[in-house]
Amino acid sequence: MYTKHQVPWRTTFTTIALLLISFFLLSYTSSPPRLSLSPRTVAADGDQLQQHAAGGLTKRVTDTYSKAHDKGHWLHCRMSMTKEEAKESNRGKSLESPSYLQVNGLEEPEGWNPHDASVSQFGDNLNEALRSLSIPIDFHHESWVHVHEADIFNDPSWLIDGSDGNIDDFENCIPTGAFFHNSFIAEAGVIIADNNYAVDPALLANAMNPNDLATHIRKWSDAVWMQWWKVCHEKGEDVKNVKYIIRSKINNGETLNFIFQAILNKHARDAKGKTIGTWDNRITMTIKEDPDELYGILGSPNGAGAAYLLLNHKERLGLKIINKVDIFVAEGSHEVKGIAVDKDTSETITLLFHVTDV
């Protein structure tokens, strides 16, 4: 039987600072402190979130939009495949997340403090859309904050499934300060990304090596799936019943650039307008009418996170696909004149992805 190792006290400034910061994060008020991060290159998994929007029309944005389109096409194709077909298309490498990221249970052993939160940052911004879709306004807010030092095992499968494991193959790791705050309406199949600060940017912000093990729960797509699993089992709901994935109050500069580029491309083709309005005046893109624009949004950091949520958990979720996205703001409107992002635009736009069975 595994006996937890005694964790040595480290009186370093980094650890103390992280714990002090995390103390305030745990209260999770409606206006939590902002963490100042510079825009950075999106990680390969596509759902490591930046905290602030990046403005300016640059060649890099144009080039990366083309790459986002190709990535979105790649993701869309593989969402419709069985896990065996997806593995074959990926040169024999499985796209399924490891078994220990398919259910909840690893969070506390790896230093996360999970608790039910009482509020969200999106507030009532989604109520109009939810009512229109006949979805009850009955949120469950889940908050995980990485605040504890812990022994991180190279393969923690045995902690979840009870199998034999190498209990000596571990690293003692300090907390990163990362957090995942997400909301759910389990009976209606709704997953809402609220306020998330993934592990890789947290490591970089604290001058730590982003390749450090730290925790296996690194990506939003895995963390939110584990939270969804937990909430569904607590409420007696089916984890396969995912119908909507909402990315609220987007502040990722690259995602916003790609959304604007997709809207401009669509408008140039169909002249149906380029103003993002409230739910009743939303912009909708579908795989039938706007495949290239949908691919561009799916390949964005926030879009890819939604796609990977479906792509990496086929064993328990089944085959699901995104063929439609709604783009809207909570109030007022935003006319897209270019792809530059200003401070008035950041955190105003929401993406609502429609999830259907294949």
Q: Is 93 helix (H, G, I), strand (E, B) or coil?
A: coil
Q: 43-58 pLDDT, tens per residue?
A: 334 454 433 333 444 4
Q: 218-275 pLDDT, tens per residue?
A: 999 999 999 999 999 999 999 999 999 999 999 999 999 999 999 999 999 999 999 9
Over pLDDT 70: what percentage of the chain? 83
Q: Are 343 and 106 in contact (CB under 8 A)?
A: no
The least confident of 9-18, 167-176, 179-188 is: 9-18
The per-residue pLDDT for 165 is 78
The per-residue pLDDT for 162 is 86
Q: 115-155 pLDDT, tens per residue?
A: 999 999 999 999 999 999 999 999 999 999 999 999 999 99
Residue 295's pLDDT band (cuts 50, 70, 90): very high
The per-residue pLDDT for 110 is 98
Sign, CA torsion 347/182/254/259: negative
The per-residue pLDDT for 82 is 97
pLDDT greater than 60 at residue 281: yes
pLDDT greater than 90 at residue 10: no
User: What would the two tokens of residue 138 be?
Assistant: 């009955």
The least confident of 24-28, 118-122, 218-222, 333-337 is: 24-28
The per-residue pLDDT for 47 is 52
pLDDT greater than 50 at residue 32: no
User: What would the two tokens of residue 43 be?
Assistant: 């990680």
The per-residue pLDDT for 59 is 52
The per-residue pLDDT for 336 is 96
Q: Which residues contact 305 (CB under 8 A, 6 or more apart)?
A: 46, 47, 49, 193, 219, 220, 221, 247
The per-residue pLDDT for 61 is 56
What is the pLDDT of the chain when averaged over all its residues? 87
Q: Are 136 and 127 in contact (CB under 8 A)?
A: no
pLDDT greater than 80 at residue 13: no
Q: 101-112 pLDDT, tens per residue?
A: 999 999 999 999
User: What would the two tokens of residue 111 be?
Assistant: 């230093």
Residue 344's pLDDT band (cuts 50, 70, 90): confident
Which has more pLDDT, 325 or 57? Answer: 325
- What is d(CA 253, CA 340) in angstroms, rounded to the nearest whole number? 9
Residue 38's pLDDT band (cuts 50, 70, 90): very low
Q: Is 6 helix (H, G, I), strand (E, B) or coil?
A: coil
pTM: 0.85
User: Please, which residues bridge with residue 335 across strands?
Assistant: 275
Which has more pLDDT, 342 or 234? Answer: 234
Residue 180: name the closest of 123, 125, 223, 133 by CA. 223
Sequential DSSP letters for 266-310: HHHHH----EE-SGGG-EEEETTT-HHHHHHHHTSHHHHHHHHHH
pLDDT greater than 70 at residue 5: no
Residue 208's pLDDT band (cuts 50, 70, 90): confident
pLDDT greater than 80 at residue 170: yes
